[in-house]
Structure 1
Amino acid sequence: MRIVHVNGEYFPEDQARVSVFDRGFLFADAVYEVTSVLDGKLIDFPGHAARLARSLAELDMDMPVTEEEILSIHREMVTRNDITDGLVYLQVTRGAVDRDFLFPEDAQPTIVLFTQAKPGLADSPAARTGLKVVTLPDRRWGRRDIKTVQLLYPSMAKTEAKRQGADDAWLVEDGHVTEGTSNNAYIVRNGTIVTRQLGEEILHGITRRAVLAFAREAQMKVEERPFTVEEARSAEEAFVTSASAFVMPVVEIDGRPVGDGQPGPVARRLREIYLEESRKAAI
């Protein structure tokens, strides 16, 4: 049975409890991070810790523990759950108080962590075959740069994509792709990697930041700008990045093959570089 962490204590998952008055439950008043584990080590942990602090600050929430304590808890969770390859999920809520729309002044944050074992996480078959995506309207709230737990519309969109026979959805606003339901989106046109620039419209992906840095180090051309659905459909390649998928090729958009319908060389190479370099830097 998994061991989970709740407010400084460790419990078997069936004994863990959070108040029914917790604002994460009542208002989605909470933020989260997911850190991958490869070979028992944490991937890109400093980036996730920094983004957690930013998300909390944007919502005027306090960091419940120090970054060093968060790292220690992550390592303890990996050890207690014997995770070789997998994920550590962290959620911080504003806390539990009687229900009121106003932010409470005296609530104590709730911090929860759990793990998910994912054997062979870095050797996903999807990396060899690629993903199929469909485009759907982006109907999320405007502050997508804050990694909150209000994920209902992304869940709806991913479910709709599955119903249409695809693996995921790319979300579209004003004719331009913002991002995937749980990942950042990219295309390759004329040999240039194109992805939307940072702003409030997309999540500031930790894997995105690392992959773009590696791409530039490898002398690949990168252009950060919005791209249209039509540009995506006629691109040479497409791919997504996320903490759990790393770099994942996209081979079909709205039923049309991207390029030759196979994972392209840019996505394949970036995945190799990212995994190699991230393993070296894992802690």
Structure 2
Amino acid sequence: MYISLNGKIVHKDEAMISPFDHGFLYGLGLFETFRVYEGHPFLLDDHLARLNRGMEALNIYGCFTRVEVKALLERLLDNNQYQNARIRMNVSAGIGEVGLKTTPYLSPNVMIFSSELQREVTKNEKKAVVLELPRNTPEGKERLKSHHFLNNILAKREIGNHPDIEGVFLTADGYLAEGVSSNLFWLAGGTLFTPAISTGILDGITRQFIIHVAGEIGWRVEEGHYTLQQALNAEEVFVTNSVQEICALTDFAGKRFPGYQGEYVNELHRLYQQYRRTLWSRTEVQEESL
């Protein structure tokens, strides 16, 4: 397998970075995970916008553009002979002396990994359990998709290596937050509910997309601080992320739900498949509304 390392395509066994990289020493790094469908990187603009905001927050120099990254992706996918792939784009702060650094990181290390996926996406279903481990609070003003993943790793250990189970965090105050690797949604009384960013969750790119699409088709959408019982009173429950897309829940904290037998989640799945072939981005929608 080949990866892209600082713009060069190298075999994975030849890829190296310095042990003095502060992404390794202090966890100063960010990543984005997204899918490529028939060569098309879906929601790329939104992933790059979040990555660029995170780099600014971590004092890492640089700003990625669609043209630049799409060219790198095309070369990488061509070398690996992939048309449909899972992409992880990783930015590590770069080399520095041992010790905490306050000046900008001017030479980050940029790595792009790919793994092949099937062309067709199945209608994924899972069960969800409530984690005993609470969601930690963001280390800054907002949660970044950063190298600081210990809370998620400990949560994954709590539920075990079961691909059909998702763990759901509660905040320290007992409100619903997010999944170990997903954002949480439920439908009740014709309204789509999801925990607000103020609970300390990651503002997932697929989360943003689902909120937009639901509004476009006339659904009422509410974000807020909700209890577990409020979600258990729902008609349908699902989680989202960029690789699994929409994953319907058949069981949440011991209560049965319809999964993909549900009307609403099926409609969202249909719309997702329709949109994923387009250049849609929330960034462009926001600019057009100004």
The partner residue of 2:170 within 163, 169, 172 is 172
Q: 2:88 maps to what in 1?
A: 89
CA contact (8 A) 1:64 1:109 kept: no
The partner residue of 1:265 within 250, 263, 266 is 263
1:57-100 Cα shifts (integer Å, max 9, x gaps): 12222126544322211222222212222211111111012221
The partner residue of 2:144 within 131, 146, 151 is 146
Listed as ranges, the gaps of 5+ residues in structure 2 are 282-290
144-153 vs 23-32, which moves further: 144-153
Q: Measure the CA separation in 2 of the matches of 1:165 and 1:74.
A: 28
The partner residue of 1:132 within 127, 131, 136 is 127
1:231-271 Cα shifts (integer Å, max 9, x gaps): 1222111111111111111121122213x466422112101
Matched, 1:214 2:210: no
Q: 2:156 maps to what in 1?
A: 158
Q: Measure the CA separation in 2 of the matches of 1:188 and 1:221.
A: 10
CA contact (8 A) 1:251 1:261 kept: yes
Q: Measure the CA separation in 1 of the matches of 2:79 and 2:248.
A: 34
Matched letter for residue 127 of structure 2: K
Q: What is the total number of aligned residue pairs between the two structures? A: 277
Matched letter for residue 250 of structure 1: L
Change (3 A) 1:6 1:163: closer
Listed as ranges, the gaps of 5+ residues in structure 1 are none
Q: 1:79 maps to what in 2?
A: 78
Matched letter for residue 130 of structure 2: T
Q: 2:286 maps to what in 1?
A: none
Q: Measure the CA separation in 2 of the matches of 1:79 and 1:215.
A: 35
Q: 2:272 maps to what in 1?
A: 274
Q: Measure the CA separation in 2 of the matches of 1:77 and 1:151.
A: 26
- TM-score normalised to the size of structure 1? 0.89
CA contact (8 A) 1:249 1:263 kept: no
Q: Measure the CA separation in 1 of the matches of 2:11 and 2:162.
A: 38
Alignment of 1:54-65 (within 5 A): 54-63=53-62
- TM-score normalised to the size of structure 2? 0.87
Matched letter for residue 238 of structure 1: V
CA contact (8 A) 2:59 2:103 kept: no
Q: Measure the CA separation in 2 of the matches of 1:45 and 1:261.
A: 28
Change (3 A) 1:200 1:81: farther
Q: 1:30 maps to what in 2?
A: 29
Q: Measure the CA separation in 2 of the matches of 1:68 and 1:113.
A: 15
Change (3 A) 1:79 1:215: same
49-58 vs 144-153, which moves further: 144-153
CA contact (8 A) 1:5 1:114 kept: yes
Q: Measure the CA separation in 1 of the matches of 2:260 and 2:109.
A: 44
Q: 1:235 maps to what in 2?
A: 234
Q: Measure the CA separation in 2 of the matches of 1:132 and 1:13.
A: 35
Q: 1:68 maps to what in 2?
A: 67
CA contact (8 A) 1:92 1:109 kept: yes
CA contact (8 A) 2:60 2:104 kept: no
CA contact (8 A) 1:183 1:240 kept: yes
Change (3 A) 1:262 1:276: closer
